[in-house]
Chains A and B, each alone.
Chain A
């Protein structure tokens, strides 16, 4: 099991060759939580290089810092989470899983269509990061955004309605699976093209800085941008890393590296597969963390988010994670090695957290079962709600194209088209 987070802070002009390999190779049992000891802040300044030739394979090559190795030998009395936090994390991850499983069922029953990308297996990243945020903080995601929206607080019934294409959906049925937006919960989407959302997240972080420096408000809002390994070869990613560091924007770039971009293996498409190293190239810390372990993700997230809140600038966090299902519900998922899938199945973040909570006597099995039951009911109820909701009327077609509908222009009769009664019926000529 990959352990710990390795991080570097390089001064932007330092010349550091990454040839020397000082890593330790360990195969640790899947369920041991090395992160059960608090990771010190110093972790972010540990300088360790690992060979650029190290490849992730079924045998996990782990990198650990000496600091964490020492801590491991001490007693594990200090737990990372309280009971309340543990239950919140468990509930959120279970919600994500139950919801996505229900999506698959509904899709195959013909209730939703198009491209639906499920998040099974990656819940630790969403829960680990988003549960640390305030309501005013912003989250930007890609097409695999259902669970990010749920973690941020968008009610399950609104997300399910959106997937069914009903007016009660969070985007009135106009967005769909890949475009989850919520102004109330500051979910800024939901983008179909990868990389497209990263500049939007950078802009939201810019607004936060603007509020602080131009409006002189006490603003410490942070933005999180989630995206995958495939996106890290895209120009917009690098352009935004540059601008975020340049202006010290309060943003955290979270890479959900699940090794596969549809059928393209990360190792086949990337010259240097270690994405966390791209952070220091632009002057920001790059951190690598085990994304199947919600507690480790949470520790790293705490530091990255508070760095941003303090105004120290952006962080790049690479979460090593895995999706249990195909890229989308239309993906037959034939290219991935069954052994790889089996290996990661044993590292299921929900089972791992459950084990941790029970072993450390934070909660009983019965309490967890009660949460599961509650969530199952919530998801069932969301489906019922979505089923019963109305489909959009024709009059909704032309609404929301423009914030100011005068943008449709002036018709031959001299009136603005939006004043035409046919407009509200959706049958106007525009």
Chain B
């Protein structure tokens, strides 16, 4: 399973490169040179002459690249958590005000090793090991941000940040407004979330739905090493408080990313796979389930367009809208709970803005409204699986 995830990761990562320059928005960050190490144009051909199958083989861990071929390829290969660390380190080098607060981020290097080695390099004050007091150290980050620093708060598991909800909602989100614009809170709140491998209900929470109503914060979810590093850097540079959602199961994805510096836009979605028949909107780990389903769908003759929405708040209605105008059918696949989740908000937003372009009702596949069970089989049925996605697309495209 891990290998498959890895393979899908690279497959989709290679595809993403082809679309970075197609945006028409005013932000120019994505016009930084993008290395196309695996540029594949996915043609609209429906009848089987798929090349995507070939891409997978590259990612199999067992296959070693010969030094010569590795050296000739631009960029460098790393795992997602290393990409996050690279982004973090570059920003800490660039701006001495950037600091990290969290449990076990310093000497231990972070529960998922995102901050490994940084305490040795920058000192105990810049990479601060906090006692177990989420509400208070998140509040400390707010106070530090108000007085000039740029702190990054790591929740050892995103679920722990529920203890910091008071500070995130009232202080991170609101203080810029209630102070009449006098104080900015340039914090980044990040951590691993999502359903893992039998971690139990409390360690498998999806907080995106709980935080989404908080006015004044932005939320982004990363899914590949490339966008993880780019979004991390963008979040740190942003003057707004940003919540960056990482996923426990994606930390070991491997990808080749550019050597040059790049920053991604926090508000834009990512075109993973262009298509004609149906728009599939997804984010984080579900991207990989969707891409796996896409293989099956393509073999069955469908041509899904897959978009990784990345920006959970606000939604990139431009990319999403353009896609809907082309395909007229929408399927949302998410790991959030059904009730009040990101999918629910997205459905509402699409209905409001693009109702005339829809040929069918929006279908939203989310996790069951169930505390994630421990048992492996039950856990599998809690989240959306590729066969369900395939069935939904078939139903939608009837």
Which A residues touch B179, using CB under 8 A? 171, 174-175, 179, 181, 183, 189-190
CB distance from B52 to the nearest CB of A (A): 29
Q: How far is the CB of B31 from chain A (nearest CB, A)?
A: 16
**A residues 95-129 with Cβ under 8 Å of B?**
none
Residues of A within 8 A of B319 (CB): 410
Once A196-B171, A243-B130, A414-B24 are accepted as A-B contacts, the answer to whether A207 and B183 lie under 8 Å apart by CB is no
Residue ID in chain A nearest B182 by CB atoms: A183
Cα of A215 to Cα of B98 in the assembled complex, Å: 12
Complex: chain A residue closest to B99, CB-CB: A210
User: When each residue 170-183 of chain A gets 1 if its CB lies under 8 Å from chain B and 0 otherwise, what string results?
Assistant: 11111110010111
Contacts of B137 in A (CB 8 A): 199, 243
Contact A403 B131 (CB under 8 A): no
- Interchain CA distance A174-B170 in the complex, whole Å: 14
Minimum C-beta distance from B181 to chain A (A): 4
Whether A332 sits at the interface, judged by CB under 8 Å, is no
The A383-430 residues at the B interface (CB cut-off 8 A) are: 399-404, 406-417, 419, 430
Knowing A239-B133, A243-B133, the reply to whether A402 touches B216 (Cβ < 8 A) is: yes
Flag whether B186 is at the interface (Cβ < 8 A): yes
List residues of chain A with CB within 8 A of the CB of B315. 409
Asked if A306 is at the interface (CB within 8 A of a chain B CB), the reply is no
B184: chain A residues within 8 A (beta carbon)? 403
Interface residues on A, range: 35 or more
Identity of the chain A residue whose Cβ is nearest the Cβ of B185 in the assembled complex: A403
Contacts of A401 on B, CB cut-off 8 Å? 176-177, 215-216
**Count of residues in B whose CB is under 8 Å from the partner chain:** 64
Interface status of A321 (Cβ within 8 A of chain B): no
Annotate B313-355 by CB proximity to A: 1 below 8 A, 0 otherwise: 1111111010000000000000000000000000000000110
How far, in angstroms, from A170 to B316 measured CA to CA in the complex?
A: 35
B139 at the binding interface (Cβ < 8 Å): yes
| B298 part of interface (Cβ distance < 8 Å) | no
Contact A199 B136 (CB under 8 A): yes
For residue B295, CB closer than 8 A to chain A, the reply is no
Given contacts A204-B146, A210-B99, contact A412 B318 (CB under 8 A): yes
Q: How many A-B residue pairs have CB under 8 A?
A: 200
- Given A203-B143, A236-B136, answer yes or no on A213-B178 (Cβ-Cβ < 8 Å): no
* A174 CA / B179 CA spacing, docked (Å): 7
Which chain A positions have C-beta within 8 A of B185?
A: 403
A413's closest neighbor in chain B, by CB? B318
Cross-chain contact B139 with A199 (CB below 8 angstroms): yes
Query: Inside 8 A of A196's CB, which chain B residues have their CB?
Result: 139, 166-167, 170-171
In the bound assembly, the distance between CA atoms of A71 and B297 in angstroms comes to: 91
Does A407 contact B314, Cβ atoms closer than 8 Å? yes
> Out of A174, A202, A403, which one reaches B178, CB within 8 Å?
A174
Assess whether A403 is in contact with B125, with CB atoms less than 8 Å apart: no
17 further contact pairs, Cβ within 8 A, besides A199-B138, A239-B135: A174-B180, A182-B182, A188-B147, A199-B142, A202-B140, A203-B141, A210-B99, A211-B148, A239-B133, A243-B133, A400-B177, A403-B185, A406-B27, A409-B267, A410-B268, A410-B318, A414-B25
Q: Which 6 A-B pairs have the closest CB atoms?
A: A203-B143, A199-B139, A409-B314, A172-B180, A171-B180, A181-B179
25 A-B contact pairs sorted by A residue (CB < 8 Å):
A173-B180, A174-B177, A181-B183, A189-B175, A196-B139, A199-B135, A199-B136, A199-B138, A199-B143, A200-B171, A203-B140, A207-B147, A209-B125, A214-B125, A236-B135, A242-B131, A400-B181, A404-B238, A406-B27, A407-B218, A407-B238, A407-B240, A408-B314, A412-B321, A416-B26
